[in-house]
Amino acid sequence: MEIWSWICELLEFGQWSTDESNSPLFFPLVTSSAYKSPSRVSDKGTGDDFQPIQIKAERSFDTDSGAAATFSILHGENTLWVSDTCPLDSKQPFLPLILQLLQEIISCAPTAQDGCCPRSQLQKLKPDPVLWILESHSSESISNFFDVVLLMRLFWLCVCNAPPEVGSMYFHTLLAPNLELFSCSQAPVLRNFFVSVGVDVEMCFMRTFGYMTAKLLILKELGVGLQMVMPQPFRNLGFSYAVESHGLWIMKSYAAVSAMRLTRRNKQIGRFSGLHPQEAVLKYALAHQQLEAVMQLEYSVKFSDGFIQVGARVDNLRFHIAKLGFNKNEDDDFINEMYFPSKVKVWVGPEMGANYVTSLSLGRSTDNSEQEVETQRVLKGNFGKLKAPELKTTSRTMTRSKMRSWRWDQSADGNVANFESTLCDNATGVEVASWEPSNGGGDYKLGEHFRDRYTGANRAFGKNGDLIFSGSECGERVEWRLNREMEGSVLKWRMGGQVWLSYLPNEVSSSYFETRCVEWCDEVDLPLIISDQ
């Protein structure tokens, strides 16, 4: 949107470098030519009553503190927001502006209704990580980062604290056309920002984006004119990044559930229009949920005489379904209705076309049952002519079989190793992610088996819907052998994840059913350097 470039160029204007003029400067965010309300069907424009949205920059001068700038967001003549003062004589004059926007995003962010990461426990955002972002990244990256931050702050200003016309303008002319700014490829600076500010700020940041995405997709489904301005194809709108740290490959991923690709659904369940009121409310509640995933793989490097051995195993996998809202104590009929993971796939391997890998060795897949055996045998014997037995021994045998809810398998795609787990119904053995009701939706036996899935001793999920796998559950390690000539280099390896989420009624009486899928991929470092110690 070139807003950051305009802000930086303010220092080059003559009226800002001298004390001669304090005339405000304006940057248009929404103009009459760019916006047309969906409620107006005339092709002759939006009308004389149109009020643009713009940013105003004003300069002030104080003999003690020097020149300073203040920014405002205006809707017509109404002021929606005013920034703190930015000292123009400092090394990073607009650092206070970015810090203020970020702090206000964190303060407004929705929290999960289970109370995870409450905003009140967050400390004030420190300036050092943001200053590092400004000083160590290119102007283009900072510009994209600022656009993302401003779009998120404008969401609360335009949608929640302004007339409905302003909110409509925001969705049509600001958010929908610029969704690509939130993609992994277009905003790499977000990765460094999240690593530097910590996971608490990261979660608030991404839950705000998840909430924005949910509202946007609901409006799109209701048919309010967003179809023409949404990027195509529109799927898998989320964010993920991967890092290497202390012997771990770590991927963190976020995706609004309603933005995930649909793979299974009742044919009777369609758009909001035409649904029974209870089904519509249920669908609305499910639309405000977000998948938050952390996938950790532990890797090791061993140097031998003729080759380098690289090993990897699953260290920890965590999947949380966040219910985005503002009242964690809300008591309604759908508080325990959530999507749940039904299939998980994590993969890692060398970059495509790598010729330095000579072999890949997989571990065995885990058994699908656990058995405990106990035997019972009686042996009696007599000596001589005595009627009473002189010797008696006893042993017992009992066989117990327990079916696991999750089945783990390993496979290979070339030199890429896959760790894959599928949720199965213990009673029927059906894989949940690939299940569909038979006879046009009349068979819901699987749904009955998964009712009250967050309670009971044998539940497959945590009480709040979380799913956690430790390394001991996910099969054995895999190993690659590399040419010894690669010693001393830092390779770029690929890491990815794919998650299927399903919904079946938990407590409510409903026929609603669907499964969605999202996939992420990124690069991680593999250092092949012998330590001095």
Please give the pLDDT value at position 327. Answer: 60
Measured from the Cβ of residue 294, the count of other Cβ atoms closer than 10 Å reads 16
First to last CA, the chain: 50
Task: Give, to the nearest 10 degrees, the angle between helix 95-108 and helix 139-155.
Answer: 40
Q: What is the pLDDT along the chain (533 residues), one digit of tens a residue?
A: 789 999 988 877 655 555 545 678 899 998 766 665 554 333 344 445 678 899 999 888 765 667 888 999 999 888 999 999 998 888 899 999 999 999 999 988 887 545 445 554 556 889 999 999 999 999 999 999 999 999 999 999 998 878 888 888 898 889 988 888 887 666 688 999 999 999 989 999 999 999 999 999 888 888 765 655 565 545 557 789 999 999 999 999 999 999 999 998 876 666 666 677 788 888 888 999 999 999 999 999 999 989 999 999 999 999 999 988 766 555 467 888 999 999 999 999 999 888 999 999 998 766 555 545 555 566 666 655 656 556 555 656 555 545 568 888 999 999 999 999 999 887 777 889 988 776 444 455 676 778 888 887 777 788 888 899 988 888 789 999 999 999 999 999 999 999 999 999 888 888 888 999 999 999 999 999 887 65
Q: Name the residue among 26, 152, 11, 23 with its Cα closest to residue 94.
A: 11
CA distances from 27 to 59, 71, 75, 167 (A): 15, 11, 12, 19
Which two three-digit tokens encode residue 404?
Answer: 């696991």
Please give the pLDDT value at position 232. Answer: 52
Query: What is the spatial distance between Cα 171 and Cα 230, in angstroms, rounded to a whole number?
Result: 10
Q: Which helix (H) or strand (E) holds 300?
A: strand 289-303
SS (H, E, C) 150-203: HHHHHHHHHHHCCCHHHHHHHHHHHHHHHHHHHCCCCCCHHHHHHHHHCHHHHH
| pTM of the predicted protein model | 0.85
Q: Name the residue among 307, 298, 266, 273 with its Cα closest to residue 514.
A: 266
Please give the pLDDT value at position 208. Answer: 92
Please give the pLDDT value at position 363. Answer: 85
Please give the pLDDT value at position 364. Answer: 73
